[in-house]
Amino acid sequence: MSAPLLVWAVLLHWAAHGSLVQGGKTWQHCTDLRPLDILSEVVPASGLARGMRVFQVQGVRGFQLTASRPRALGFPASRLFIHCDRFPEEFSIIVTLRVLNVPAKRNEYLFTLMAEESHSVLVGLRYSPNKLHFLFWSQEHSNGWQTRVTFRNVSLSDNQWHTLILAVSGQSFSLTVDCNVPNDVVVETPFPTSLSVKRASFYLGNRRRRKGLFTGLLRQLVLLPGADATPRICTSMNFKVATLSVPAVLQDLPAKPASNEVLKYPYETDMKVTLGSRPPCTKHEKAHFWFNASQRGLYLCNGSTWISMLEVKQRLDYVEEYQNLVTNSETMGIEVFTIPKVGLFAATANRYTPPGSAIYKWTDGKFVPYQNIPTYQAQSWKYFTIGKKIFLAVANFEQNDRGQEYSVIYKWSRRKEKFVTYQRITTHSARDWEAFVIEGEAFLAVVNHREGNNHNIDSVIYRWNPRTGQFETNQTIPTSGAYDWEFFTIGPYSFLAVANTFNGTSTKIYSHIYIWLNGSFQLFQSILTFGAADWEVFHIGDRVFLAVANSHSYDSRTPVPSNFYAINSSIYELNITAQMFVKFQDLLTYSALDWEFFSVGDDYFLVVANSFDGFTFSVNSIIYRWQGYEGFVAVHHLPTVGCRDWEAFNTSEGSYLLYSSAKEPLSKVLKLKTT
C-alpha cells in the first residue's frame, strides 16, 4: 500500500473551545490566555497618573483614587486587547482591595469598561454596602439593556484587605471572597459571546463621572481570559501561585504558610510583582515577579536574571507521521535508549514466539531491525546501566514451551555488539521492570501481575550484589494485578509507585506510593485508581506531578456502568506542606494504558495512550499541553489503534514520538514539527 504520507493534526488546536484555527492569527489571539493587568495599565512607566496616590495599610500598599479627573484614570481598551477587539466570553476578574465604610445606598465603581460615544457601561463592577454588582451590556439578549448580577451579603467593610475572584461563564456568575465558599448566581441573560471593545475604554474606580468613585484602596485588578481561575487559586496551598494565576508562579516551591493569616491575606505575604521598567534582579528579589505591562511580559527573578515566563522559544506546531515500523507481532511495550558510542535503539516487547521481540537501531533517520530475542508474550523492556555494564531486562508474561516461567536480564556484549542472556529471574505474569539507584546501590523491581487466577501476589524488589554480580531478592511488596512500577526522587527521598489493576473482583482499588526509609520501602500514600496501568512522574519547575492511566472501571458487586472505559485519568501534584499528592486535574481517557511526558522548547506536554472506547480500538490518543493555571489542555488528536505505549525521544534532527499498538503489528514514529 502506498498511502501518501499522512499529516496527522496539521492545524494547531489552541484548544480554548476544542476547535481548529481557521482564520489566521486573530482567532488565536482572541483566546490568548495571558492575564491582563488592568491596574498596571493606568500607571504610566514614568510614575503615577494624576488622581492616584499610594497608601500603605497593614503593611500592604494600594492606590487611592481622587474624583477630580475621572478620565485620567482611564485608558483605551485597545491597549489591552491588542490583537482582538472582543471581550472574552469566559473569564475571571481578580480584585484585591480594602474598602472604607460606605454610606447606605451609595454605590462605588471598582472599574468600568465604557463605549466612548455613549454612557453605556459595557462591563463594570460596583460595590454598595454588603453587595457586589457585576454589570454588563448585551445586545444579543436584552435588547441593549444593561444586566446587573448582584451578590448579596458581601461584607468587605471590616478594614481588612480582601481578594475577590469573579468567574463568568455564560449564565453563571460566581464570586469567591478570600477563597471561601463561592457565591453562585445564575441569571437569565448570559454574558455576551461577542462583546466588542472597539472604541471602548477602561476606567479605574469610576464610570467616567465624579459620582460613584471608589473611596477605598485598590491593589490588584486582573482580567484572566479563559476558564474559571478559582479552583486553581483556592485549592492550591501555594497562594503565591494562586493569586497570580500564571504558569510562572508555579516555578516556585510553595512557602509553608505560617498560619491561617497567610491564607486570609495572601498578597500581604506573597505578592511580589513589580511593575514599570526593568527592576534589578538580585538574590533579594529572588522569586519576585516583574510584569512588563507594555510588552505583556511576565518575568521571574531566579536570583540573578529575569526569566521570561510567558514567551516560548520553540513551539510544537503539528505532529506528522514519520515512519511505519512493522513489528514482529503486536507490541505491548517499547523502550528507547542510547548505548554510548554505539547509537540509538528501540526495543519492542512483542506478543508471539517465534520470532519473539526485536531491537531496532536508528540508522539514517529510521529504525531498522538489529536483533531478535526470544520472549514469551513480552510486556515491556527496561534499559539500565550499572557502572560500565549495560543491561536490558524483559518482562515475560507467559511460560516458555517447556513450562518454565521467568523474565530475563540481558547484558550488552561489546565484543559481539549484541545483547546476551545474563540472569533469569522467576516471575509471575510479569508486566514491567523498573531500575533505580538508592544511595549508590542498584535495584531492579519486577511487577508480578498474577499467578494462575490469583491477582493478589507479591511483586519483588531485587538488589544488585556487586560481589556476585547478580540481583538478589531484597523486599517483597503485596500487589493486586499490578501493571507498572514508577520510581522517582524528590530531594533526598526515593519513592516507588505501583499501579494496581485488579484484585479479583474489582478494578476500583488503591494503588500505592512507597517511600524508602531505613533500608526498605514503606507505605507513603494510597490513591484510589480504576484499573491503573501506568504511573508517570514529571516535574514542571519545582512542582512534582504524578499522572495515573486508568484503564477500566469494573466492580463485580456494583451495576454495570454505561461504559467501563471512558473514564477519567488523573494528575496529582505533590503538596509539600501536606506532604502528600493531591488531585490536580482529571482528564477523560479511553482505557488509558500509558502517559508520556515530554517538552519542546519551553512547553510541556503529556501524551496519553487511549486504547479502547468500549466499541473500537481505533481511538484518538491525545497530546495535552501545559497551560499554567488551566492545567493540561488537549492540543493534538492522534489516530491510533489499540495504543499501548508512548515513548518520546530526540535525535540531532529533531524530536519524535514512538507509539506501539497492542492490536496490530505496526508501531509508528511521529515527528514533532516545531517553529
Interface positions with Ca ion (CB under 5 A): 432, 434, 484, 534, 536, 594-596, 645-646
Helix (H) or strand (E) holding 30: helix 25-30
**Helix, strand and coil in the chain, % to nearest 5:** 10, 55, 40
| Rounded Cα gap, residues 351 and 626, in angstroms | 35
Q: Which residue number, 362 or 381, has a Cβ lying nearer to Ca ion? A: 381
Sign of CA dihedral 131, 134, 140, 146: positive
| Rounded Cα gap, residues 126 and 132, in angstroms | 6
| Rounded Cα gap, residues 91 and 89, in angstroms | 7
Q: Which residue number, 534 or 573, has a Cβ lying nearer to Ca ion? A: 534
Q: In the numeric block, which cell numbers belong to residue 435? A: 531500575
Q: Which residue number, 108 or 647, has a Cβ lying nearer to Ca ion? A: 647
Q: Which residue number, 42 or 600, has a Cβ lying nearer to Ca ion? A: 600
| Rounded Cα gap, residues 239 and 247, in angstroms | 13
Say how many C-beta atoms besides its own lie within 10 A of residue 647's C-beta: 21
- The 3-class SS string of 267-306 reads HHHHCCEECCCCCCCCHHHCCCEEEECCCCEEEEECCCCE
In the chain, the amino acid numbered 99 is V
State the minimum distance, in angstroms, from the CB of residue 583 to Ca ion. 19
Q: 324 φ, ψ to 5°?
A: -90, 115
Q: Let me know the angle formed at the C-alpha of 430 by 606 and 565, rounded to the nearest 5 degrees.
A: 45
Q: Which residue number, 594 or 603, has a Cβ lying nearer to Ca ion? A: 594
Name the closest residue to Ca ion (Cβ): 536
State the minimum distance, in angstroms, from the CB of residue 633 to Ca ion. 20
Listed in sequence order, the residues at least 6 apart from 370 whose beta carbon sits closer than 8 Å to its beta carbon are 345, 358, 359, 360, 361
Q: In the numeric block, which cell numbers belong to residue 254? A: 510553595
Q: Which residue number, 457 or 609, has a Cβ lying nearer to Ca ion? A: 609
Q: Which residue number, 207 or 512, has a Cβ lying nearer to Ca ion? A: 512
Q: Is 445 helix (H, G, I), strand (E, B) or coil?
A: strand
Sign of CA dihedral 266, 268, 271, 276: positive
Q: Which residue number, 298 or 643, has a Cβ lying nearer to Ca ion? A: 643
